[in-house]
Amino acid sequence: MTDIEPDDTVDARGAACPGPLMDLIGRIRSAESGDVIRLLSDTDQSLTDVPEWAEEAGNELLAVEEIDDHNAFYVEKA
Amino acid sequence: MTEHVVIVGGGTGGTVLANDLADRLEPELDAGDVRVTLVNDDPDHVYKPVWLYVPFGQREPDDGRRALDDLVDDAIDLRIDRVSDIDTEARRLRFRGNSPPVSYDHLVLATGSTLEPDRIPGLAEAGHDYYSESGATDLRDELLAFTDGDLVLSVIGTPHMCPAAPLEFVFMADDWLRERGLREDVDITYTYPIQRVHGNPHIAEWARPLMEERDIRTETFFNAEAIDPETETITSMEGTELEYDLLVTIPPHAGVDLIEEAGLGDDGWVDVDRHTLEAEAAENVYALGDTADTGVPNAGSVAHYQAGVVGQRLASKIRGRPATATYDGKTLCFIETGMDAASFVEFDYEKPPSPAPPSEKLHWSKLAYNESYWLTARGLL
């Protein structure tokens, strides 16, 4: 369990790829620098999509948490 | 007692459904046991795929317009007004215009997509599009006068209408400029928000080599952040900056506000069961086409097939029978790969797409379908 307190959560469970990543990008777009967004996704593709995009965009993937049938990604906006 | 079905939205999904119900429920409509109302905020039905051809001078926007009154069966009540409020508890709609409120027993939302260029600074001023009638005619004027420089097509966000259309545009522009002897003087760049050139990996794998062969440059992981019309540059959230002389964009899309206000879903898309198309947050409410958040492409064929499913489910419920029809994600799509060649894909929730080799025959099939679309809208095809 992480103790990171997200500023916002995007629940993209049930969405097919690239829905979760696009939902995350959309929320990061409107976030402030330093905000932490938590993305909930149950597609395995997010395990590669999210780290790749976070690195490309210069944002930091703080943690990936495995919860039952989905993952929670914590991304801090640069 | 008369059961009232109200359909909001007179695009492909709403129009096909209205005509489907007129046919399917003919005895009940004749007997006055059922009433079907179609609400639209424009007296015309618009077939948006025509807009792709407008910038290349091949079609006129009027080719994609018909009066709803001519397309919709006389058994359907047609109301031209804009819904301002959906109350799913009271099962009632209110209108912006002079129409009195309407109560429903079954509600179908087919309100489609709207463009939101204002989300990106500079986009409304500098970007051209073929996702609106005025955008397509403005782009035609720009493209006809464009003889050299950087043509950038940027897909800004997904979902958007017709996921294949950005690929089609750059393939068509490449071919059109070659035919006119201008291609060597024009650099074409295509940008996409994720790490491949299309949301569907199978279509992306098919398109990427074609783009390389045609010398269409690609920039992936490019999420437009701002556009500077003065310096003619577009900058991404990922820190990439591109110069353009002609900028064509797929603007951000959203649904309509009243869906979120009614608590039916975010961004104007209704949360639905992706097989039954029934809203998750309210009873007796369906959504179809772009409005239904199913994860399948925002495409006319999707709206068409979903309308058939909703029509069957509504008829079953009205007749007191179990509703068994379900939507399996079926999507059909022609993809233009030039001015005289096209591919074709067919897929569903389980089966991925496998694009057909581009051919002239498929191009003419696409044009033939565009012509016969009006039979689809009437529920005949």
* Residues B186 and B149 sit within 8 Å (Cβ to Cβ): yes
Of B223, B232, B222, B217, the closest CA to residue B170 belongs to: B217
Cβ atoms of A73 and A43 within 8 Å: the answer is: no
pLDDT digits (tens, 9 = 90+) for B81-106: 999 999 999 999 999 998 899 999 99
HSE at residue B257, side-chain half, CA atoms within 13 A, is 4
Q: Smallest Cβ distance to A21: which of B159, B194, B295?
A: B194
- Token duo for residue B213: 């062969």
Same fold, B3-113+255-330 and B116-253: yes
- Cβ within 8 Å, pair A22-B194: yes
- Quote the CA–CA distance of B169 and B338 in Å, as a whole number: 9
Distance in Å, alpha carbon of B347 to nearest chain A alpha carbon? 14
Gyration radius of chain A over CA positions: 11
Q: Does domain B116-253 have CATH number 3.50.50.60?
A: yes
pLDDT tens by residue, B5-14: 999 999 999 9
Which residues partner with B188 through β-bridges?
B151, B216
Which residues of chain A neighbour B237 with C-beta distances below 8 Å? 25, 28-29, 57
**Are B223 and A29 inside 8 Å of each other by CB?**
yes
pLDDT tens per residue across span B106-130: 999 999 999 999 999 999 999 999 9
- Residue reference for tokens 């097919």: A16
Does the bond joining B159 to the residue before it have cis omega, within 30 degrees of 0? yes
- Nearest 5°: the CA angle B149, B193, B162 is 85
pLDDT digits over B197-242, tens only?
999 999 999 999 999 999 999 999 999 999 999 999 999 999 999 9
Cβ distance B194 to A53 less than 8 Å, yes or no, reads yes
- A16 to chain B, any CB pair closer than 8 A? The answer is yes
Task: With cut-offs at 50, 70 and 90, classify the pLDDT of residue B380.
Answer: confident
Q: Residue B358 — very low, low, confident or very high, per pLDDT cuts 50/70/90?
A: very high
**Per-residue pLDDT for B77 more than 90?**
yes
Say yes or no for a CB contact (<8 Å) between A28 and B237.
Answer: yes
Strands B186-191 and B149-155: parallel
d(CA A59, CA A78): 5
Share of chain B above pLDDT 70, in %: 100
Residue B381 above 90 pLDDT? Answer: no
Distance from CA of A62 to the nearest CA of B (A): 18
Per-position DSSP letters for A41-70, written without gaps between them: E--TTHHHHHHHHHHHHT-EEEEEEEETTE
Q: Is A51 on the interface with B (CB under 8 A)?
A: no
Band of residue A64 on the pLDDT scale cut at 50, 70, 90: very high
Three-state SS at A19: helix
B269, B273, B277, B279: CA torsion to nearest 10: -60
Among candidates A14, A15, A57 on the partner chain, residue whose Cβ is nearest the Cβ of B237: A57
> CA-CA distances (angstroms) from residue B119 to B131, B165, B251?
16, 21, 9
Give me the active site residues of A, please.
17
- Give the pLDDT of residue B371: 94
Tokens coding B41: 């905020």
In the predicted model, what is the mean pLDDT of chain B?
A: 97
Q: How many CB pairs lie under 8 A apart between chains A and B?
A: 42
Read off the pLDDT band of A16 (50, 70, 90): confident
Please indicate if any CB of chain B lies within 8 Å of the CB of A15: yes
Going from the C-alpha of B341 to that of each of B60, B175, B347, B354, B359, the distances in angstroms are: 21, 10, 21, 17, 5
Q: For residue A70, list its beta bridge partners.
A: A67
**A25 touching B (Cβ < 8 Å):** yes
pLDDT tops 90 at residue B59: yes
> A53: pLDDT confidence band, cut at 50, 70 and 90?
very high
**Tokens of residue B65, six digits:** 């317009």
Q: At what angle do helices B201-213 and B165-179 cross, to 10 degrees?
A: 10
Provide the pLDDT for residue B343.
98
The residues spanned by each domain of chain B are: 3-113+255-330, 116-253
Torsion of CA B48, B50, B56, B62, to 10 degrees: -100
pLDDT attached to residue A15: 83
Confidence (pLDDT) at B304: 97
Taking residues B278-296, report their average pLDDT.
96
Please give, rounded to a whole number of angstroms, the shortest distance from the CA of A35 to a CA of chain B. Answer: 15
Residue B183: predicted pLDDT: 98
pLDDT at B329: 97
SS3 for B361?
helix
What integer is the mean pLDDT of A49-62? Answer: 96
Give per-residue pLDDT as tens, B127-167: 999 999 999 999 999 999 999 999 999 999 789 999 999 99
- Token pair for B14: 């709403």
Task: Kindly list the distances between the CA atom of residue B242 and the CA atoms of A4, B47, B83, B151, B189, in Å, as whole numbers in the listed order.
Answer: 36, 33, 41, 10, 9
Banded model confidence at residue A18, pLDDT cuts 50, 70, 90: confident
Whether A67 has its CB under 8 Å from any CB of chain B: the answer is: no
Which residues 6+ apart lie within 8 Å of B24 measured at CB?
B311, B312, B315
Reported ipTM: 0.93
- Do residues B314 and B106 make contact, with C-beta atoms less than 8 angstroms apart? yes
Query: How many angstroms separate the CA atoms of B140 and A73, rounded?
Result: 44
Instruction: Specify the CATH architecture of the domain B3-113+255-330.
Output: 3-Layer(bba) Sandwich (3.50)
Mutate to test the interface with A, among B160, B194, B198, B220 (most CBs of A within 10 A): B194
Identify the helix (H) or strand (E) that includes residue B331.
strand B331-336
Count of other CB atoms within 10 angstroms of residue B239 = 11
Best CA proximity match to B283, nearest among B107, B53, B71:
B107
CB count in 10 Å sphere of residue B6? 24
Portion of chain B with pLDDT greater than 90, in percent:
97
The pLDDT score that the predictor gives to residue A62 is 96
Chain A environment of B193 (Cβ under 8 Å): 18, 22, 25
Task: Name the residue among B260, B335, B265, B262 with its Cα closest to residue B297.
Answer: B335
Q: Given a cut of 80, is residue A1 above it in pLDDT?
A: no
